[in-house]
Chain A
Amino acid sequence: MRQIIIIGSGPAGYTAAVYAARANLQPLLIASSVEAGGELMNTTDVENYPGFPEGIQGPDLMTKMQEQAERFGTEVVYDDVAEVDLTGPIKSVTLGSGEKLEALAVIVATGSAYRKLGLDDEERLSGHGVSWCATCDGFFFKGKTIAVVGGGDSAMEEATFLTRFASKVYVIHRKDTLRASKIMQDRAFANDKIDFIWNSEVVGILGADAVEGVRLRDTVAGTESILELGGLFVAIGNDPRTHLVHGQLDLTPEGTISVGGRSSKTSQSGVFAAGDVVDPTYRQAVTAAASGCVAALDAEHYLSILPQDLLAKASETELATVTN
């Protein structure tokens, strides 16, 4: 048995691991098989993470966080969590491989998942012109006219990035003002290849085998129109990833894991949550990292007041694992 297992490998997970490892808790971090590093792995320039005045590439930042966590003894496992049992003093975490792990404390830092438009043809045309990842797929839209749906920072970043490839990028937004930060807005406004389509929502995606256009509805006038496109990038936000803990941890009305005040304490003792999965509002790399720190400190305190016999169990098994 472990003292602590951390689920998630974004800024929250790795920061929790740095703190837990430096507290000598020998954390095991479950990074996921194909999404290790989290959302920043699909981001290019990160310009607002303190300490990097020239900016840093998302994947480079995550590699550095991982190295920092490993330097102090974090063990990283590249697998997915299939199931958890967070009730009782000993928590269990079952991996995709079937292996069942136990720990006295668990930090849930599972982040969030791209929100879908919820349209009939979205799934069918996903990978055939509908994409959620500009850095992955932009390359294939050289010289094409494409659109980004959304009005936040990630929509602006994607639109700006996509002008490297596309001849024209429309930003489709359902309001007449953007949620994005001023600097990202200004960059998009200044880009000759970007045009904004305000007060419009995508109500249909057209195309037999590949995206040929979208049906737009004017959110003010209610009129519909067709826009011909070679590709559609969706950047309308994220939803917290809580399916693992449904029925075991209390959630907020926004769907995030409910935590007490400024702490990371969930409705289950010994279970802490951090990062986008608890945050319906800010969702920045730096706020996720900060909440990962909070979770590790809360977990450290929780473990320090547990009965000695439980703690002894955890360290015995760790020694046994080491000698194997």
Chain B
Amino acid sequence: MTRTPLPLQLASPTARPDALGRFGKFGGKYVPETLMPALHELEAAYRAYAENSDFQAELGGLLRDYVGRPSPLYFAERLTQHHARPDGTGPQIYLKREDLNHTGAHKINNALGQVLLAKRMGKQRVIAETGAGQHGVATATVCARFGLDCVIYMGERDMERQALNVFRMRLMGAEVRPVTAGTGTLKDATSEAIRDWVTNVETTHYILGSVAGPHPYPMMVRDFHAVIGAETRRQCQEKWGGLPDILLACVGGGSNAMGLFHEFVEDSSVRFIGIEAAGEGVNTDKHAATLTAGRVGVLHGAMSYLLQDTEGQVIEAHSISAGLDYPGVGPEHSYLKDTGRAEYYSVSDQAAIEAFQQVSRLEGIIPALETAHAFAYLNSLCPQLSGSPYIVINCSGRGDKDVQTVAKVLDQSSNA
């Protein structure tokens, strides 16, 4: 397997991002002026509380007792056997079980961190966007826990394909507002959440759910998820006394991948692989493979790779997985791609559905369709590897929410 050398500019973790919120040329704050004071306020609050022991103690206690952290690092024995060579050697596959967190995905780490900030900033109302509904559920959950008003923006089409999560959010007292603009997916829900924030910025905190958006969100959301990588390092040490060789995660906006990668950025022996959604194929017009097929642009407040046409109009993404169905990507991923620190590939809807079934049968774990993209890439990756490297996959979410979508697809194909 090839190893990517560590670029020199990554030597200091404090330089990511710089004072203007930039990762190289990516990131920044491309937002209406109305939001600028709120972004300054949020950054100041975040920087103050990141160092504050009361804040950290409260967050740490809730992550332990409410979320159930640390999440296990699980050896996927049958998946490992499945990918073994005839002589029995091959990659050792471990899963970081973020699907076991309260609410069933990694999203709660960030929602909890941000709600504690919102409370300290005196904001009584919280808004969020959601695609698959996992971030919406996480936000509704922490708002219920802390008694805050909660409005979730969700594309109309996503509300249909993630009906279970819509019910969960409403059950916990959140208002779910359907967004009909565009294709009614995550991009449009994010735009609508930003419009709400512009309007109600003085009373409202926006819990953005990925490592995307204007500074300080990409940094802050990454940092709240960095617990994933930090635990992984300790657990690898306990289990085999070393580092992982490969970290593998799906990438829509990219929060679960950044949460896993961040801890290891300076460990140059650790290879990072992010998997995007190829939908019906990156050569079709129905995919969400931003880093694979996009060009540099600006969306939702940040400069990053972007799916856009020759006029600079944003193209609607497509993926069977609502959480990856986004034409942008977090700016730090664009930076990690351009510096060569991380590699990004894509996996089709079809391959993701096959992996969804495969992991269910081999491990008794039903992964989210988003997560299934990362699992699907094992089929390409494992034959390329020599020896018995340790692979850690971020098992970022559970797939209960997706069973109806997958049942529908399988039903169609069996009737075809």
Are A and B part of the same complex?
no
Which B residues lie at the A interface, using CB under 8 A?
A: none
Which A residues lie at the B interface, using CB under 8 A?
A: none
